[in-house]
Each structure stands twice: as structure tokens, then as C-alpha cells.
């Protein structure tokens, strides 16, 4: 399912192809996130036109709405969203982290969101929306506060129902603020959950062709502790997974998250079997991608390019461009985001027009900037692949 | 600039072509509204792919943001929004109506909007945001409350700066609740404003090719009063306009607005020169279009198809389909909006997926449904043209 075409002689970087029933993914690849079975604001044709080969959807969100059973009845995620190329689904573990420690420590990506928007968060008795036990995670929906219980087995069942090509074992993502003892216990539980995920994956009746060729990736945890990361990579790497995810919240504001990420990759990469693909979960900064590819990472997913695009921030080789600024409305500053860029947005629209759209809250601003940002990521990965 | 290709022998309907420097418009035509220089959520390519030949943008909104002078500096509206086909701009008169009587009588399309969102509306001293005098209209911006003064001359200057192909004379649109006396006085003023608009249009220095071949349409008013409508059509029809708009607020909840619209068209149409195009302002219901075409209307603009689309209501030959209903998530109800429809949305996506998108507030729901609705209108007009 994974073929290495070429290895760099300067680093651990490799050029490869992940094959799935819905086509191939040239690696290293950036996988855009379509949280709720849609990349926000873009049609599948727009995604295909820019050469995007795979998407990652969120198990937690799709389990809540429309529900994995609904998706299954409607023919699976590919048919549901009319995306006939490869799909990844995550395990729901990261969202559990966001609902639990993410809120307490304010490090989860969703923490601010929940704090700002959901009144029941403020109930001191319900401070945490998620409670982790050996069996699994009890959590409340961020939508209506309803109670749910997610286990490794259930995560696999949901992901089987959704029918993505590449699915992930259920894990707990610890906070960068968790101490050694908690991180160790959590990692050990994540390892037990990995085995339970694998067992469920194996025994699951392969009822239809959509799920027949799913690939299950295990997830390495261990926080910021070298011995735990090594232990985790060794343990997970020895299991019969089709590939590996590297988890953890590097995105905290405590310490140098980029440096943490590089350190972790340096610690673990040699413990992961070379012949299997490696996915770095939730990472998508340009610098981070360069550094991670060098260390042997094959695929990435991250909401950053799309989220930045929606917020009026365009990716360029010279950093992010704030399209909300009124200065773009003053000629001659009205050229495209990047004169050399071949994306639909740069070929058709000026910074001035984009600035106008953002300033008057028109949907087309986020749409056009998301198109540019995802195209930018595609070109970045293409360039990286050409250099290996 | 307008050629009649064929006249119906059963009604006043005519098949024609409006020619502009940016191409032709086959009539009868529905002109989608791109209020702020964008059809909400759609790229210009998506609009072209469904065969849309012209758009109507709003002078009032573009005057406030980004400003007509900014648009002019950036090369005019066509270049600004990268739409190389014909553009109409309205005169700003309807928005003035919405800010003035529209709010007092709660009949303006924007009335509810201003009531709900803009606190300064509640200041009893500033109940009306607009004040009409012979010279023009003083109004406050709905965005920041800043004061502005719009006159027939200024409306033409703004529309010259924007550079649309077809522009409209400045008018006051009276409320359906206005009495005979007010409506008569207002109409007479609208006639004087029409002459002032024409004079400004003629004397305006033709500085660049974009504005060289603009066409100016006069607007017939007169409310719901037969003698006033006749008087207005006669007066406006005799002026040297390139075409005519029929104005008025038929959309009120007082009385049968559809019936009012038909009556008005029956009263006035014979007073408007047959060889010039006729535009029915702000009307876009399917039934209304049939009735108006029969009575000799050539073009229509209306926010309804796009607004309904954004709100999850899909146009079909059997009425509007509410895509927000959870029932579509239960198979086998998951087919497309219309099995026979050839639009991008119906060719690619199910009602189930659309229902999901609306239920989770994803932008793609409004986008896909707007595409369907505008395609539906295009097909409707094509069918109407084929039957004349």
C-alpha cells in the first residue's frame, strides 16, 4: 500500500506513493482538512482542479452530525460528499483532548471556541466536557451538551461506517502541561487502546467493498519526554499497523513548539518501520513541513491553510499577507496575492478586490483565499517532492 | 443597442438582444444580483459556466464600500470584480426608499435588517435614516451612521465611476402605503430627477472607453394609482433614455402584490416605446416573470433566487424545496434536488449532503444551492425565450 520511490541522500526524506482503493497519494503530501465532510467553502471540483489528492475528515464531528450510521446508509463518506479520491479520518482522540485538558489548560485548538460559545462550559461542576477512563472517554457534545461514550472499539466502528481509506487508532492526546507521570500513564493507556483498535479492526466484518481495503494507522504519543516517546514509537511501531501517526499537542504557547516537534521526530523516527507511511497529525506550517519531511514524515494534515484563508491571511513565500488591510484598495497595490502564482485566485483577482470582499464580509473572500492557500500548499509539496 | 428578434402573436412578449461593450444579453433575461460586486459565494467562472450573461450591482453599497472613486481608480467595476460580461447598476433610489419609508412602514426589503441590527435606528429622533428633498436625499450609512447626500447628478457620477454598461436614473421609490398626494408629488419629483439624471449623463465628460457606451435607463414610478402610472410612463417614455425600468414596491404584505404588479404593467406598457428595452426592478418570482414577460418586460433582477439559496430553499418546478429538513438524511430521499436538472449541484450532490451542510452551517450549502437556483432561473428564461 506504500511504495518508496526514492530516498534522499542528505536526510531521512523519502519520495513515495500511498495506494488506496480511491487512488494514489504522492508523498510527501499535505492533506487538507474537510472537518464536516467539506473543505469549508470549496467544491470538490475546485479541490480537484488544484491537484489535491486526498482529504482528512473528522470522526468526532461526523459522528455527531450527521452520524456515522447515516453516512453509511447513504453509501459512505466518499459517496456522501462526492469525493472519489482518498479520504483519511482521524480517531476522535484529538477532539477528546480539546474537550478535556484542552479546556483546562487552554492549549487545545478548540479551547477558546468552547470557552467563548458554549455556556455550559462555565458550569464549574462541568468544567471538563470529557472524562477519560481505561474503558474510553465520556464526553458531552459541543453542540447540545448530550452525553456520549467513545471507546477504541467504537472509534473503529464509526470509522468503518464512514468508510475512509486511511483511519486512525483511538488515542489520548496529552497536554504539553501534563507532567511526566500523567503522560506516562496516558501513553500506556493509548498503547492498550491501540491494541484494542487493532483487534476491533481485524475482527470487524468486512461487509462491503468500501471498507475492505481500509488501512489502520497507529498513533505515537509520549508528550515531550524522550524516553516515553521512544517507548511509544517502539511499541506502536512493532504492531501490525499499515502506517503511523505522530500525535501530540505541539501547538501550545508554552515553550518553543516547533523545536519540540523537531526533537520528538528526531527521537522516534528510527523506531518506526521504514517501509510504512508516517503521518504528522495537525501540523501544516511551511517551516514545520520542511523540517518534518527531512526527518522522514510522509503526510501532513492541518486546518491552518484553510483557517488562515477564511480569516483573510494569504500564504506566500515571504510570509502571510493580511488581505483585510485597506491599503490594498489604494492602487497600484492592487495586483494579485502573488504575481507568479498560477492559482485561480491569483489568475483572476487582485488584492484590492479580495480586501474589499473581506471588508464587506462577503463569502467569496474566504473562498478565494482558501483556494490560494491550498494551491500554495500543493505547490510547496510538489517542490519538496521534486527536491528529494 | 436593443434589437427585437421576434414578437409573440399571443401576447406582448418579445425576444430580443441588448448589446453592450461587454457583450450581448439574450432577452427576456434574469439578471442575478451581485450587491457588493460579488454574487454571494460564487466565483465568476461558476456564473459563466451556467450561462449567466449579466449581473446587477448596487450603487448604494458600492458607493459606501469600497467607494466609487476607488473602483474607478482600479479600472472600473468590470476589472475590479473580473466580470467581463455586461453589468447593470441601480441608481441607489431603492436603498433610499428602504432607509426612509421602508423603515417607517416596514415595507422595505431592508427594513427588518436595519431594525434588527442597527441600534441607532431606535433613536426616535433619527427614526428615518433618509430625508428626501427636491435637491436629493440625505441619508445615514447603515454601516457607520455617517451622513451622505445623494442627488440625481451624484448618482450618475457614481455610476459613471463604477462604469456599468446599463445604469439607472435616480428615483424615489414610494411606499405602497403612501397616499395619492404623496405618491403624486414624489412621482413628479422623480420626473424632475429623471431630467437632471439625463442632463448629467449627457454633459458628463466621456473620459474613458469603459463609460463611453453606457446606456441610461429611466424609471417609471406612480405607485398603485392608474393615472399616475400612466402619466409617469408617458413622461419617462418620451425622454431620450436608452431603456426603461419599472419601479415600485410591489413586495409589500399589504394587498396582493402580484396582482398589483400585473395591473401596473397593463396600465403602462403601451406608453413605453416598443423599440427600447424594459427592465422590471426587483422582481424575480417564477410566476411574476411569466406574467411580466407576457406584458412586454425584457429583463428582471431580484435577490430572491440567491437569498433563498443561501437560506436552504431550492427552486424547483414544483415549488421551493426546504433543504434544511432532516428528512433528506433518511434514504432513499437522498437524490439530487431535481433529477432532471443539469446544474453542477444536481449533477454532483444529494439532498442528503446539502441538508447536512445546512444543518452544520457549512458555507458549501449556500454555495451549492445558489448555483442550483441561478441555473434554474437561467433554464427558466431559456425556456421562456424558446416559447416566444
In this structure, are residues A349 and A323 in contact, taking their beta carbons and an 8 Å threshold? no
Domain, as residue range, for A367: 310-387
Q: Are residues A298 and A316 in the same domain?
A: no
* Nearest-5° Cα angle at B88, B87 to B94: 150
Indicate whether A298 and A319 sit together in one domain.
no
Contacts of A361 (CB under 8 A, 6+ apart): none
Say yes or no to pLDDT of B115 above 90. Answer: no
DSSP per residue over B198-212, as a string?
HHHHHHS---SHHHH
Least confident of A112-121, B56-65, B316-325: A112-121
**Nearest partner of B223 among B194, B182, B270, B283, judged by Cα:** B182
**Quick check: B333 contacting A, CB < 8 Å?**
no
Task: Give the end of a domain, one of A302, A326, A355.
Answer: A302
Same domain, A272 and A187: yes
The answer to whether the CB of A167 falls within 8 A of the CB of A214 is: yes
Give the whole-angstrom CA distance, residue A131 versus residue A97.
Answer: 10
Q: Is the pLDDT of residue B256 over 80?
A: no
* B307 assigned to some structural domain: no
What is the least distance, in Å, from the CA of A303 to any CA of chain B? Answer: 15
A185 touches chain B (CB under 8 A): no
Sheet of A2-7, strand order: A2-7, A14-20, A23-27
The partner residue sitting opposite A331, judged by closest CB among B74, B82, B363, is B74
Instruction: Identify which of B65, B66, B362 has the shortest CB distance to residue A36.
Output: B362
The tally of CA atoms less than 13 A away on the side-chain side of residue A68 is 20
Q: How many CA atoms lie within 13 A of A166 on its CB side?
A: 32
Q: Are residues A214 and A90 in the same domain?
A: yes
> Is B308 part of a structural domain of the chain?
no
- Decide: A25 and A53 in contact? Cβ < 8 Å: yes
B301 catalytic? Reply is: yes
B106 pLDDT more than 60 = no
- Mean pLDDT (whole number) for A70-78: 95
Residue of chain A minimizing CA distance to B369? A43
DSSP per residue over A260-275, as a string?
HHHHHHHHHGGGS-TT
**Higher pLDDT pick, A335 / A213:** A335
How do strand A23-27 and strand A278-280 relate by DSSP bridges? Answer: unpaired
Task: Give the separation between CA B182 and CA A199, rounded to whole angstroms.
Answer: 81
- Do A82 and B349 lie within an 8 Å CB cutoff? yes
In three-state secondary structure terms, A129 is coil
Mean pLDDT of chain B: 88
DSSP letter at B134?
S
> Active site includes A171?
no
- Summarize the confidence of residues A4-12 as an average pLDDT: 97
Res B181 pLDDT > 70 = yes
Model pLDDT, residue A26: 98
Classify residue A283 by burial, with Cβ atoms within 10 Å: 0-12, 13-18, 19+. buried
What is the residue-wise DSSP string for A163-176?
Answer: T-SEEE----PPPT
Indicate if A243 and A117 belong to the same structural domain. Answer: yes
Is B310 inside any structural domain? no
* pLDDT higher than threshold 60 for residue A340: yes
- Asked if A359 is an interface residue toward chain B (Cβ–Cβ < 8 A), one would say yes
Domain boundary among B268, B302, B336: B302
B3 min Cα distance to partner chain A (Å): 32
B332 forms bridges with which residues in the sheet?
none
Q: How many cross-chain Cβ pairs, A to B, lie less than 8 Å apart? A: 110
Q: Report the CATH number that the domain containing residue B263 is assigned in CATH.
A: 3.20.20.105
Q: A309 CB near a chain B CB, below 8 Å? A: no
**Per-residue pLDDT, B139:** 83
Which of chain B's residues have a Cβ under 8 Å away from the Cβ of A364?
A: 38, 40-43
Q: For residue B114, tell me if it sits in a domain.
A: yes
A376 shares a domain with A280: no
* End residue of a domain, out of B267, B302, B337: B302
**Closest to B89 in 3D by CA, of B101, B107, B76:** B76
Residue B191 Cα, gap to closest chain A Cα (Å): 34
* Number of folded domains that form chain A: 2
CB contact under 8 A, B344 and A45: yes
What are the backbone dihedrals phi and psi of residue A145, each rounded to the nearest 5 degrees, phi first? Answer: 80, 0
The alpha helices in A239-363, defined as continuous H runs, are 257-268, 286-294, 304-310, 344-348, 351-359
Q: What is the pTM of this model?
A: 0.93
Q: Which of B90, B171, B242, B288 is catalytic?
A: B90
Which of A344, A353, A366 is opposite residue B80, by nearest beta carbon?
Answer: A353
Q: Considering only residues 23 to 62 of chain A, which have any Cβ-Cβ distance to chain B shorter than 8 Å? A: 36-38, 40-45, 61
Q: Are A264 and A249 in contact (CB under 8 A)?
A: no
Q: Distance between CA atoms of B367 and B22, rounded to whole angstroms?
A: 26
- Phi, psi dihedrals of residue B145, rounded to the nearest 5°: 75, 0
Among B247, B249, B372, which residue's Cα sits nearest to residue B306? B372
Let me know whether A151 and A98 are in one domain: yes
Tell me what the mean pLDDT of segment B323-331 comes to.
90
- Please provide the DSSP assignment of B75-120 as one string: T-HHHHHT--S-EEE--SHHHHHHHTHHHHTT-STTHHHHHHH-GG
Residues A77 and A219 occupy one common structural domain = yes
Give the residue on A whose Cα is nearest the Cα of B66: A356
Question: Rounded to whole angstroms, how far apart are CA atoms A341 and A335?
Answer: 12
From B80, B331, B348, residue closest to A74, measured CB to CB = B331
| DSSP per position, B233-285 | HHHHHHS--SEEEE------SSS-HHHHHHHHHHHHGGGS-TTS-EEETT---
pLDDT tens profile B189-240: 999 999 999 999 998 645 544 445 899 999 999 998 999 999 999 999 999 9
Shared domain check, A296 and A326? no
Of A42, A334, A359, the CB nearest to B65: A359
Give the span between the Cα atoms of B41 and B30, in whole angstroms: 19
pLDDT score, position B176: 74
Among A116-125, B16-25, B294-303, B316-325, which is the least confidently predicted range? A116-125
Identify the pLDDT of residue A210: 45
Check B368 against A43: CB less than 8 A apart: yes
Mutation pick from B40, B50, B66, B350 vs chain A, by most beta carbons of A within 10 Å, is B66
Cα separations in angstroms, A371 against A25, A27, B357: 20, 21, 19
Q: State the catalytic residue, choosing from A165, A171, A242, A301.
A: A301
* B37: closest CA of chain A, how far (Å): 8
State which H helix or E strand residue B334 sits in. Answer: none
State the pairing for strand pair A87-89/B243-246. unpaired
Residue A65 Cα, gap to closest chain B Cα (Å): 7
- CA pair distance A66, A41, nearest whole angstrom: 18
Alpha-carbon dihedral of residues B304, B309, B311, B312, nearest 10 degrees? 140
3-state secondary structure of B26: strand
- Name the residue facing B36 among A61, A360, A366 (closest C-beta): A360
In chain B, which residues have their Cβ closer than 8 Å to the Cβ of A82? Answer: 348-349, 353
Q: Which of B165, B242, B298, B301 is catalytic?
A: B301
User: What's the CA gap between A371 and A306, in Å, rounded?
Assistant: 8
**A243 shares its domain with A353:** no
Classify strands B137-140 and B147-150 as parallel, antiparallel or unpaired. Answer: antiparallel
Q: How distant, in Å, are the alpha carbons of A39, A282, B160 from that of A99?
A: 23, 16, 55
Residue A203: how many other CB atoms lie within 10 Å:
9
* Res. A38 pLDDT band, cuts 50 70 90: very high
pLDDT at A176: 75
- Beta-bridged to residue A27, according to DSSP, are A16
- Write the pLDDT tens digit of every residue in A292-310: 999 999 999 999 999 999 9
* B366, B233: one domain: no
Does residue B289 sit in the same domain as residue B361? no
pLDDT in tens, A319-332: 999 999 999 998 77
- DSSP 8-state symbol, A121: G
CA of A95 vs chain B CAs: smallest distance (Å): 17
Amino acid at each position: 500500500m506504500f511504495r518508496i520511490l526514492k530516498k534522499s541522500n542528505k536526510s531521512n526524506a523519502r519520495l513515495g506513493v500511498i495506494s488506496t482503493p480511491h487512488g494514489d497519494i504522492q508523498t510527501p503530501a499535505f492533506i487538507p482538512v474537510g472537518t464536516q465532510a467539506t473543505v469549508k467553502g470549496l467544491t470538490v471540483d475546485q479541490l480537484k482542479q488544484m491537484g489535491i489528492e486526498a482529504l482528512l475528515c473528522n470522526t468526532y464531528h461526523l459522528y455527531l452530525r450527521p452520524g456515522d450510521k447515516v453516512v453509511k446508509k447513504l453509501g459512505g463518506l466518499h459517496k456522501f460528499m462526492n469525493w472519489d479520491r482518498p479520504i483519511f479520518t482521524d480517531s476522535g482522540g484529538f477532539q477528546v483532548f480539546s474537550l478535556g485538558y484542552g479546556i483546562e489548560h487552554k492549549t487545545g485548538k478548540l479551547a477558546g471556541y468552547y470557552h467563548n460559545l458554549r455556556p455550559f462550559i462555565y458550569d464549574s461542576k462541568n468544567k471538563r466536557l470529557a472524562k477519560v477512563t481505561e474503558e474510553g472517554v465520556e464526553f458531552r457534545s459541543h453542540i447540545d451538551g448530550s452525553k456520549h461514550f467513545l471507546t477504541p472499539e467504537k472509534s473503529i466502528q464509526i470509522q468503518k461506517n464512514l468508510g475512509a481509506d486511511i483511519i486512525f487508532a483511538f488515542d489520548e492526546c496529552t497536554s504539553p502541561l501534563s507532567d511526566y507521570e500523567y503522560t506516562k500513564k496516558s501513553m500506556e493507556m493509548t498503547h492498550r487502546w491501540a491494541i484494542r483498535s487493532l483487534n476491533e479492526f481485524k475482527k470487524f466484518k468486512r461487509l462491503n467493498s468500501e471498507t475492505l481495503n481500509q488501512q489502520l494507522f497507529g498513533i505515537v504519543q509520549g508528550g515531550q519526554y524522550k524516553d516515553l516517546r521512544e517507548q511509544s514509537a517502539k511499541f506502536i511501531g512493532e504492531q501490525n499497523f499499515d502506517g503511523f501517526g505522530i500525535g501530540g499537542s505541539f501547538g501550545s504557547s508554552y515553550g518553543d513548539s516547533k523545536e519540540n516537534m523537531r526533537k520528538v521526530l528526531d527521537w522516534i523516527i528510527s523506531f518506526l518501520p521504514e517501509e510504512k507511511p508516517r503521518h504528522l497529525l495537525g501540523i501544516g506550517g511551511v517551516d514545520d513541513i520542511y523540517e518534518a519531511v527531512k526527518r522522514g514524515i510522509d503526510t501532513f494534515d492541518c486546518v491552518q491553510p484553510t483557517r488562515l484563508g477564511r480569516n483573510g491571511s494569504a500564504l506566500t513565500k515571504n510570509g502571510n499577507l493580511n488581505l483585510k488591510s485597506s491599503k490594498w484598495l489604494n492602487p497600484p497595490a492592487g495586483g494579485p496575492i502573488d504575481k507568479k502564482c498560477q492559482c485561480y485566485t491569483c489568475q483572476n483577482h487582485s488584492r484590492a478586490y479580495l480586501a474589499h470582499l473581506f471588508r464587506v464580509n462577503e463569502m467569496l473572500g474566504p473562498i478565494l483565499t482558501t483556494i490560494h492557500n491550498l494551491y500554495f500548499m500543493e505547490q510547496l509539496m510538489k517542490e519538496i517532492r521534486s527536491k528529494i
